[in-house]
Amino acid sequence: MRDIMDSVDAWLSQGQGVSLASVTRTWGSSPRPVGATLAIARDGSMAGSVSGGCIEGAVVRGALEVLASGRPELMSFTATDPSAWQAGLSCGGTVEVLLRPLDAQAYEAERNALRDDREYLRLLSLGFRPEGEEEGSAAPDALGDAAPDAAPLAPDGDGAQGIPLGATLLVSADGSLLFAPSCAGPVRGGRADDPASLFSSRTGPAGSEGLVAACLDAVCAVPSVQTDGFLELPCEGGCHRFSFARYRRRPHLVCVGGVHAAITLTQMAQAMGYRTTIIDPRGIFSTVERFGHVDGLVHAWPQEAFASIPLDAQTAVCVMTHDAKIDVPALELALASECFYIGSLGRPTTQAQRYRQLRKRGLSHRQLARVFGPIGLDLGGRAPAEMALAILSEITAVRYGKTATSRQMSQFAPAPEQAALQQPA
């Protein structure tokens, strides 16, 4: 949502209607994860994405129709061979997308959560499924010539069967309710661990009261490492379906040292959604002229700066001054934290010096194995911007638990052709 807020705010200030399209479920290969959102203004402008560009045309057309009718739609696009190539969804997977008019109250609540940098879950109602109706009875439509006219999978819903299709619930990481639609009943305050204090809600068929509380209980039972999922909550006459996605706090890049490469590094990191902080006691390096774009500019030694900057599991620390008086204590403090990445700038000889200095301070070989040094992937570039790219590439790989390897199209050739490539020329 962060990537579309500025555009949505601008459209709303112009008095334009806005529709949102969000990925609710995926099967197989998919370009964008559950929760990815595309915003569409009444004039056809758009921000964000729900795929790599392959289904956006069909989604925008559907979103404009939803904006005109006010009725949400749940659409599914399936890649079939060869028609998927004609339509654009060549990834081989299936993508389900929920289209709905923007709910101003839900948007404001989510905007506040993002502004406050809170971790939260967004639940989208996929409507009520009557008992006996197979999930496959609303099978996804194959893409192809019919893709622009893909039919909705579920009725728009009017609240007669609980929380209607397209409604949004927002739940904070601590289990407290941030937003629920008015159709769910009066909010009494409280938390998910105290369902009785949440709702006395009209949730559909007789005997199904407490849907929102049950939904919160189910979400709070989800492991914190799980980023998205699908809920089916049984009730009399069928079940209510929800898709959820977890939105974490912004990752934080802390650079110790206002060196040249750090300028581009922090700019690139901000484009990727990071908060950025520069720490450097040397005033000539950490000037507003060089780093006016960062979120925090701290003129202090690491020992003082880190006392007020939390180094949590969402933090990457890059130590870049080339000055042992600054680098060594910065590395020691970073190693005492939960930050997911620690990088040390300098040649292999510098890394050997830092290793010996930190060992004398009592750090073990196992602890020092957390430090990436020389910092950054070995991409071969030496210009400051190229160094920044190498560093941020390594941070990204570590953050997602990946190793950086290049791939070639020929790897995916038919087996006989791959065998032929192995033969001597």
Tens-digit pLDDT profile for residues 397-407: 999 998 888 87
- pLDDT tens, position by position, 172-198: 888 888 998 865 544 333 333 333 333
d(CA 199, CA 184) in angstroms, rounded, equals: 8
State yes or no: pLDDT of 376 exceeds 70. yes
Helix (H, G, I), strand (E, B) or coil at 193: coil
Long-range CB contacts (< 8 A, 24+ apart) of 274-278? 274/250, 274/316, 275/117, 275/250, 275/251, 276/252, 277/252, 277/253, 277/309
344-373 burial string, b = 16+ CB within 10 Å, else e? bbbeeebbeebbebbeeeebeeeebeebbb
Q: What share of the chain in percent tops pLDDT 90?
A: 55
> For residue 142, what pLDDT band results from cuts at 50, 70 and 90?
very low
Mean per-residue pLDDT over the chain, rounded:
82
What is the residue type of 342? I
pLDDT digits (tens, 9 = 90+) for 279-310: 999 989 989 999 999 999 999 999 999 999 99
* CA–CA dist 212, 195 (Å, integer): 9
Q: Measure Cα distances from 72 to 16, 40, 67, 100, 160 in Å.
A: 18, 14, 8, 4, 15
**pLDDT band of 148, cuts 50, 70, 90:** very low
pLDDT, position 367: 96
User: pLDDT (tens digit, 9 = 90+) per residue, 319-350?
Assistant: 999 999 999 999 999 999 999 999 999 999 99
Contact (Cβ atoms closer than 8 angstroms) between residue 97 and residue 55: yes
pLDDT for the residue numbered 61:
92
User: Are the beta carbons of 313 and 340 closer than 8 angstroms?
Assistant: yes
Q: What is the pLDDT of residues 55-65, one digit of tens each?
A: 888 899 999 99
Report the pLDDT averaged over residues 346-369: 96
- pLDDT tens digits, 204-223: 332 334 677 777 788 778 88
Q: What is the pLDDT of residues 92-132, one digit of tens each?
A: 578 899 999 999 999 999 999 999 999 999 999 998 888 77
Query: Which of 343, 381, 336, 350 has its CA nearest to residue 255?
Result: 343
Q: Give the closest residue to 179 by CA, choosing from 165, 187, 169.
A: 169
Place of tokens 């490492």: 225
Give pLDDT, residue 251.
95
Task: For the chain, list the domains and their CATH numbers.
Answer: 2-129+137-247 (no CATH), 252-399 (3.40.50.720)
Confidence of residue 154 (pLDDT cuts 50, 70, 90): very low
Q: Which residue has the higher pLDDT, 66 or 95?
A: 66
pLDDT at residue 56, rounded to an integer: 85
CA of 232: how far to CAs of 18, 177, 192, 222, in Å? 29, 19, 18, 13
Asked if the model's pLDDT at residue 351 lies above 60, the reply is: yes
Q: What is the mean pLDDT of residues 345-362?
A: 96
- DSSP state at residue 138: G
Euclidean distance between CA atoms 158 and 163, whole angstroms: 8
29: its two tokens:
């290969």
Give the model's pLDDT for residue 162: 65
With cut-offs at 50, 70 and 90, classify the pLDDT of residue 11. Answer: very high
Average pLDDT of 144-149?
31
Supply φ then ψ for residue 103, to 5 degrees: -90, 110
pLDDT for the residue numbered 425: 62
Residue 177: phi, psi to the nearest 5? -80, 125
pTM: 0.75
Q: What is the pLDDT of residue 238?
A: 81
Phi and psi at 142, nearest 5°, equal: -70, 140
- Residue 178: its H or E element: strand 177-179
Query: What is the per-residue DSSP string for 376-412?
Result: S---S--SHHHHHHHHHHHHHHHHTT-------GGGG
Instruction: Give me the residue label for tokens 């099967």.
Output: 27
Query: Could you tell me which residue, 268 or 232, shows the higher pLDDT?
Result: 268
